[in-house]
Chain A
């Protein structure tokens, strides 16, 4: 055997064996020391790390407070929605997974890549929203691919559901993800990136109440992020629901009355400042903003010359035109100047060299007729007598040039010029000639529709001015109410004494505006059986000379105004209507009349005090019929009908309340021309049409008819 080669006597050196033994001992002691360090000295530290490892705090998003109208009808709702995020940290190579993600989530691959590209500068832990409103199928896809696509995460949230078609959009506002600029702002101190915040309207002002408080859940997860249980749960505190002062019915009436015109409507209760309706045109769809608005849609909104995002009811500062004459009348009467003025209007006045035109020759005019005539000449003279400082004093007292203090963001103050103002801003003396422009609400005077509603509503209320608001304050925490008053300063509530006699003169003058009569500016807006007063206004956007030079275009049309109240004294409702670049000032008066009528109708209906039901206008119908049992030859229809072979009949009928009230069976062929000329009998027509305000509007859409026309009994589909 080979083993004989070995030297048998030789043994392992005891020294070397001892070295090895000690070496092993020291190694073991070293390992033991390592274990001691980890398990005894640092145990708390590692326990915390182990907990953090497996316990993930998952936010429970608080549902945002819903919004209700003054009769507790839902205006803004929430709905549950799932959003899919992509967390780049979870995988090394996200790009390789993109085709699968795009396929599973039904996304465009290029668009997905572009989204990721946009976020490439952001830190890796920042989740990238990939898809919102993920469907059940797509959720199943994400769950099934949790191992292959660990980067996909979903978050349940409550999304805002706004009324469609931009209904009250400017009043409600919209929500969106808090922007980086906002986060640096102290107002947004308690927000975190990704939070949804109110960005306009009520959503912005009342964000603190509406947002509620997000809760969280301590979820136990394994290393794949799979949920295996949960520890603690901190429930979300839902946002406070708010009851708005708006009346859905009146808001709808105002929306419909406004149509597509560029402008705004404010309807307010002048007794307490509750805004009943607020419309701004053009409108937008707030649902598009709920998380992230599409870029092209956003660009379209911000580049639109008509500024759809602007709440014109409180942000459009424009010359108030002749509506300013109400304030002029107050000033003139209170100062004792206007009572004795009996002037002759010859189409204008020009005491300082420049001739100021009136729109027509009104002849003899005094304060009683000056308001319904809206005679410029009268007010030129009154303004000249008062002087700019007295006008400015009254105007400022009543709130021109100051915010009203409405609880909506972005209100503009308007402008009331004075001699002092001119010196300060233009370093020039005030010329008496300028007072004449101011006296008819032109020149530098600027006001918002909301201001006009408050001021004219206040004057009609005998000098009781209110702070407009859109949310009932009694439901707000005291602290919030206080901070609200601080955040939205304004002229607020005030009482300015107006001599009752003067008050009567002015309000009677305003009532004459809507009475049919010669020179009355809004006679066509008259409402039968309703005490309806108001004042129109037409504000030139440029001088007559400039207008003559430029090409006639719609954008150069004057801004037309109407401010109406009902009843004329101590009104329950004041409506301010602005139509930018509109036509004649009686159009906004008719729009205002529709709102007033809707208001009064509802009041009467609720009180069971409706005027006797008016018949619906008869509906014209065409019909073709055959006499049964008689054969007809094909191809010989016309001749058969006309030739009296008697089988085919056709004719026109007027149907009212289910009965034929008039027939025109002689009509054989129906052509559009024929239908128009075939008017119903005069008796039927005369009874219904004149009392129906809407019919007076030439561009009224047929859809308006059912809601603007008076109807017997409650309308179907409307909540009592």
Chain B
């Protein structure tokens, strides 16, 4: 046992932690810049606290063998399904959606955490099948596994978080061994279903539809749903190559950019630090993701790889959707940028996910 302890700390991914911390610093500075002249002025210190708490959680989670986590995942899955139902029934209503549940003084958003549980549950499910090609029945089971929490979150309503569950399913199916014919069939069915959902008019609320479409032509509706996209594009575009400088972004400081410290923090950062700063942040993300994939490849077993790849899928999806939204490639979905956006739940999820990834890496030579 002492040997194992020694091993685990040598194998902790300090490089990854370093990259993550650089992003954390960028995040704190940008949150400071966007909120310093507003009533949210102390948010950067709260973010520091969140990051610190996240790091502590990461270390704690890294200590627990991920096999144990996988074993516990069915239970956690059950608990979170119940908590999602509970949110629906007794949750705290904010901005027209029930997403929060109050546990004593702490407000708690279960839908963020469900992602991690889903990653574990999916890894367990795929790993159990064991590398052969998936049957249709197994594919549908995987759909059910992800679809249930998706439905529960969708009715909160929280479209953005709902969508972040999808990459878990896609990564699981892709890595688990789905063949081309099955994939093609699924894509066709998915498209038909999407069109059906869109035109039924019951599942998606009108404002959600508007948000999903307005990014294509924000000028058509500059005061409504297109406003955020347009203002975000103006913020990014007016930043130029070198940016306007910290605390000098006119779009950010003049409140033209909606919530510049959370969902649109990348727009604020791009405005104030320009193309150079934005590419620097993207490079950091790229390195983090590459480092995670490398960890997945060196993992001791398939579940470990699958867990990390699930995390990679979720993080990649969030980065793509958030940055895509900010630069007008994607609709406004309310998905935060991991490690950059302000918010306890988002920060904690990311660090816990990284903790699990560290966990897998630390145990690559164990067995």
Asked whether, in the complex, the Cβ of A8 is within 8 Å of the Cβ of B238, the reply is: no
B256 within 8 A of A: yes
Contacts of B327 in A (CB 8 A): 31, 34-35, 37-38
B312 in contact with A20 (CB, 8 Å): yes
Contact B130 A53 (CB under 8 A): no
Q: Are the C-beta atoms of B290 and A221 separated by less than 8 Å?
A: no
| Contact between B301 and A6, CB atoms less than 8 A apart | yes
Residue with the highest number of chain B CB atoms closer than 10 Å, among A1, A27, A36, A221: A27
| Least CB distance, A94 to chain B, in whole angstroms | 14
Q: Is the CB of B296 within 8 A of A43?
A: no
Residue A25 interfacial (CB < 8 Å): yes
Q: Does B41 contact A (CB under 8 A)?
A: no
Alpha-carbon gap, A502 to B299, bound state (A):
130
Q: Which residues on A sit within 8 Å (CB–CB) of B235?
A: 50
Is the pair A50, B234 in contact by a Cβ cutoff of 8 Å? Answer: yes
Asked if A43 and B320 make an inter-chain contact with CB atoms under 8 angstroms apart, the answer reads no
B266-303: CB near A (< 8 Å → 1, else 0) gives 00001000110011001001100110010011011111
CB-CB under 8 A from B329, the residues of chain A are 30-31, 34
B275 contacts A40, CB within 8 Å? yes
Chain B interface size, under 10 / 10 to 19 / 20 to 34 / 35 or more: 35 or more
One digit per residue, 1 when the CB lies within 8 angstroms of any chain A CB and 0 when it does not, for chain B 85-120 equals 000000000000000000000000000000000000
Query: Which residues from chain A contact B255 at a C-beta distance below 8 Å?
Result: 222-224
Tell me the smallest distance from the CB of A16 to a CB of chain B, in Å: 6
In the complex, A89→B328 CA distance in Å? 24
Given contacts A2-B71, A42-B237, contact A25 B286 (CB under 8 A): yes
Given contacts A3-B70, A11-B302, A21-B293, is CB(A35)–CB(B240) below 8 Å? Answer: no
B324 & A34 in contact (Cβ 8 Å cutoff): yes
- Contact B282–A89 (Cβ < 8 Å): no
**Contact flag A49-B234 (CB < 8 Å), given A34-B328, A39-B278, A54-B254:** yes
Bitwise, A434-466 to B at CB < 8 A (1) or not (0) is 000000000000000000000000000000000
Query: Which A residues are in CB contact (< 8 Å) with B323?
Result: 31, 34
Q: Which residues of B contact A12 (CB under 8 A)?
A: 175, 296-297, 299, 302, 305-306, 309
B316 contacts A24, C-beta separation under 8 Å: yes
For residue A297, CB closer than 8 A to chain B, the reply is no
For the complex, give the distance between the alpha carbons of A2 and B278 in Å: 45
Which of B234, B254, B274, B289 is within 8 Å of A24, CB to CB?
A: B289
Q: Which residues of B contact A89 (CB under 8 A)?
A: 223
For residue A603, CB closer than 8 A to chain B, the reply is no
Q: Assess A46 versus B130: contact at CB under 8 Å? Given A10-B301, A223-B254.
A: no
Cβ of B21 under 8 Å from chain A: no
Tell me which residues across on chain B come within 8 A of A14, comparing CB atoms.
297
Q: Chain B CB within 10 Å — which of A5, A27, A38, A224 has the most? A: A38
Q: Which of A14, A16, A23, A53 has the most C-beta atoms of chain B within 10 angstroms of its own C-beta?
A: A53
Is there a chain A Cβ closer than 8 Å to B236's Cβ? yes
A38 to B327, CA, bound (A): 8
Q: B320 near A31 (CB under 8 angstroms)?
A: yes
- B127: which A residues are within 8 A, CB to CB? 6-7
Which residue of chain A lies nearest to B327 when distances are taken between CB atoms in the complex? A34
Asked if A223 and B302 make an inter-chain contact with CB atoms under 8 angstroms apart, the answer reads: no
Task: Let me know if B301 and A1 touch, CB within 8 A.
Answer: no
Bound state CA distance, A40 and B239, in angstroms? 9
**Interface residue? A189 (CB, 8 A):** no
Task: Say whether B135 faces chain A, with CB atoms less than 8 Å apart.
Answer: no
B299 neighbours in A (Cβ, 8 Å): 11-12
Closest A residue by C-beta to B242: A39
| Complex-state Cα separation, A409 to B235, whole angstroms | 55
- Interface presence of A32 (CB below 8 A): yes
Contact in complex: A35, B67 (CB < 8 Å): no
Q: Does A17 contact B (CB under 8 A)?
A: yes
Chain B 61-90 interface 0/1 with A at a Cβ cutoff of 8 Å (1 = within): 000000100110000000000000000000
A397 vs chain B, min Cβ distance (A): 69
The yes or no answer to B128 lying at the interface (CB within 8 A) is yes
A684 and B146 CA atoms in complex are apart in Å by 118
Bound Cα distance from A278 to B279, whole angstroms: 78
Query: Could you say which residues of chain B place their CB within 8 Å of the CB of A46?
Result: 233-234, 236-238
B367 part of interface (Cβ distance < 8 Å)? yes
Report chain B residues within 8 Å CB of A32. 279, 282
Q: Are A53 and B250 in contact (CB under 8 A)?
A: yes
Q: Chain A residues with Cβ under 8 A from B223's Cβ?
A: 89
1/0 per residue, CB under 8 A from A, across B322-338: the answer is 01100111000000000
Chain B residues whose CB sits within 8 angstroms of the CB of A636 once the complex forms: none
Q: Are A10 and B285 in contact (CB under 8 A)?
A: no
Mask for A83-107, Cβ within 8 A of B = 1, else 0? Answer: 0000001000000000000000000
Q: Which residues of A contact B67 (CB under 8 A)?
A: 1-3, 6
List residues of A (51-88) whose CB comes within 8 Å of B's CBs.
51, 53-54
Q: Is A45 an interface residue (CB 8 A)?
A: yes
User: Shortest Cβ distance from A46 into chain B, in angstroms?
Assistant: 3
Residue B251 CB within 8 A of the other chain? yes
Closest CB in chain A relative to B66 CB, distance in Å: 9
Q: Is the CB of B275 within 8 A of A39?
A: yes
- Is B151 in contact with chain A by the CB < 8 A criterion? no
Establish whether residues A47 and B238, one from each chain, have CB atoms under 8 Å apart when the complex forms. Answer: yes
Q: Is the CB of B297 within 8 A of A53?
A: no
Hey, which chain B residues are within 8 Å of A42, CB to CB?
A: 237
Verify if B143 is at the interface (C-beta below 8 Å from A).
Answer: no
Q: B174 near A: Cβ within 8 Å?
A: yes
B19 within 8 A of A: no
- Residue-wise, chain A 326-359 has the 8 Å CB interface mask toward B (1 for contact) of 0000000000000000000000000000000000
Give Cα A228 to B223, complex, Å. Answer: 22
* Residue A28, interface by CB 8 Å: yes
Q: Which residues on A sit within 8 Å (CB–CB) of B285?
A: 28
The residue among A21, A24, A25, A89 with the most chain B CB atoms within 10 A of its own CB is A24
B67 to nearest A CB, angstroms?
4
Q: Is the CB of A38 within 8 A of B250?
A: no
Taken together as a complex, chains A and B put the C-alpha atoms of A78 and B71 apart, in Å, by 85
Residues in B with CB closer than 8 Å to A23 are 316
Query: Given A34-B327, A35-B236, A39-B236, does the pair A16, B254 have CB atoms closer than 8 Å?
Result: no
- In the complex, the answer to whether A24 meets B70 with C-beta atoms within 8 Å is no
**What 1/0 mask marks residues of chain B from 230 to 267 whose CB sits below 8 Å from any chain A CB?**
01011111111100000000110111100000000000
- Which chain B positions have C-beta within 8 A of A21? 290, 293
Using a CB–CB cutoff of 8 Å, the interface residues on chain B facing chain A are: 67, 70-71, 127-128, 130-131, 174-175, 223, 231, 233-241, 250-251, 253-256, 270, 274-275, 278-279, 282, 285-286, 289-290, 293, 296-297, 299-303, 305-306, 309, 312, 316, 319-320, 323-324, 327-329, 367
| 19 more A-B residue pairs beyond the given contacts A10-B131, A38-B327, A46-B237, with a C-beta to C-beta distance below 8 A | A2-B70, A3-B71, A6-B127, A6-B303, A10-B302, A11-B301, A16-B175, A27-B320, A31-B282, A32-B282, A35-B275, A35-B278, A43-B237, A47-B237, A47-B238, A50-B250, A53-B231, A221-B254, A223-B256
A-B contact pairs, 19 of them (CB 8 A): A1-B67, A1-B71, A2-B67, A5-B128, A7-B127, A12-B296, A12-B299, A14-B297, A27-B320, A28-B286, A32-B282, A35-B279, A46-B236, A47-B238, A47-B240, A50-B251, A220-B254, A222-B253, A224-B255
Q: Which A residues contact B (CB, under 8 angstroms)?
A: 1-3, 5-8, 10-14, 16-17, 20-21, 23-25, 27-28, 30-32, 34-40, 42-43, 45-47, 49-51, 53-54, 89, 220-224, 228
Of all A-B residue pairs in the complex, the 10 with the closest CB atoms, nearest first, are: A46-B237, A3-B67, A12-B305, A50-B238, A38-B237, A39-B275, A222-B254, A34-B327, A223-B255, A46-B238
